[in-house]
């Protein structure tokens, strides 16, 4: 059986304008590969309600899991929760268990649970909460859509909470070989290897060091036997690699 599939939707004008460097997708991609969930797509969109609704509906319908990052904070431009609710035809309101988490958190710090902070307790009907051990304000799951914060430390904590609960498949493994030859010199034999091992992914990644050009060759597969055979063939084709 094939592995479950996933998409990641990164939401935020700050990503599209270059103000913030995106790293959450990179973190989650590694977790998904290890869990045996095949990441098919990463998409970045801005803080526009209609765009979020459309993207969530499309990606959730085409994948077993959709993970979103960003837009569930306390400010006016944190609109992800409302958009996700609309995409799944759900109502949204302040939920008492989420309110209680926030009330205890701020009370413990001698701070008020303001209307702005209470926005983080607005959860679509029927959703389950995703634990946030960093700053308490929860994420949530609606059907197959897992909605998480954009702050990297919080996103990582939420991902670590939700990914182990999902049914995965065979982990994606990889082996690599480095050589001081440019891609143009290894393209044809690499193509032949890829054709000879159709169940394995072959990638080539050029690099430069001290004016010399080299290539990192990577083979990937969820089948350990196929991966070993492909890597052995790769080393035989490029014996100078290390």
- Which pTM was predicted? 0.90
For residue 241, name the pLDDT band (cuts at 50, 70, 90): confident
Is 65 exposed, middle or buried (CB count within 10 Å of its CB: 0-12, 13-18, 19+)? buried
Average pLDDT over residues 81-104: 98
For residue 1, name the pLDDT band (cuts at 50, 70, 90): low
3-state helix, strand, coil in the chain (%, to 5): 40, 25, 35
Query: Which of the residue ranges 86-90, 146-150, 206-210 would you say has the lowest mean pLDDT?
Result: 206-210
Average pLDDT over residues 90-96: 97
Which of 101, 113, 171 lies closest to 140, judged by CA? 101
H or E, element range at 10: strand 5-11
The tens digit of pLDDT for each residue in 64-82 reads: 999 999 999 999 999 999 9
Q: Which domains does the chain have, with CATH numbers?
A: 5-165 (3.40.980.10), 173-237 (3.30.70.860)
Neighbour count for residue 119 (Cβ, 10 Å)? 19
**Can you spell out the DSSP letters for 80-148?**
HHHHHHHHTT--EEE-HHHHHHHHHHHHTTT----HHHHGGGEEETT-EEE--TTT---EEEETTEEEE
- For 151-177, b/e burial (b = at least 16 CB within 10 A) is beebbbbbbebbbeebebeeebbebeb
Q: What is the pLDDT of residue 242?
A: 80
């Amino acid at each position: 059986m094939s592995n479950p599939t996933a998409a990641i939707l990164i939401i935020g004008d700050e990503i599209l304008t270059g103000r913030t460097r995106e790293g959450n997708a990179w973190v989650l991609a590694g977790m998904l590969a290890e869990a045996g969930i095949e990441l098919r797509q990463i998409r970045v969109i801005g803080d526009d309600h209609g765009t979020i609704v459309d993207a969530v509906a499309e990606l959730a319908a085409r994948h077993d899991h959709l993970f979103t990052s960003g837009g569930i904070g306390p400010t006016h431009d944190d609109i992800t929760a409302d958009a996700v609710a609309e995409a799944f035809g759900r109502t949204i309101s302040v939920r008492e268990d989420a309110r209680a988490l926030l009330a205890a958190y701020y009370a413990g710090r001698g701070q008020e649970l303001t209307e702005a902070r209470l926005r983080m307790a607005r959860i679509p009907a029927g959703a389950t909460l995703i634990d946030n051990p960093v700053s308490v304000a929860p994420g949530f799951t609606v059907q197959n859509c897992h909605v998480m914060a954009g702050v990297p430390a919080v996103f990582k904590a939420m991902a670590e909470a939700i990914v182990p609960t999902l049914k995965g498949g065979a982990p994606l493994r990889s082996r690599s070989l480095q050589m001081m030859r440019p891609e143009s010199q290894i393209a044809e034999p690499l193509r032949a290897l890829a054709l000879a091992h159709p169940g394995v992914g072959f990638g080539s990644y050029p690099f430069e060091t001290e004016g010399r050009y080299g290539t990192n060759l990577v083979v990937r597969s969820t089948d350990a036997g196929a991966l070993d055979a492909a890597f052995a063939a790769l080393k035989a084709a490029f014996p100078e690699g290390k």
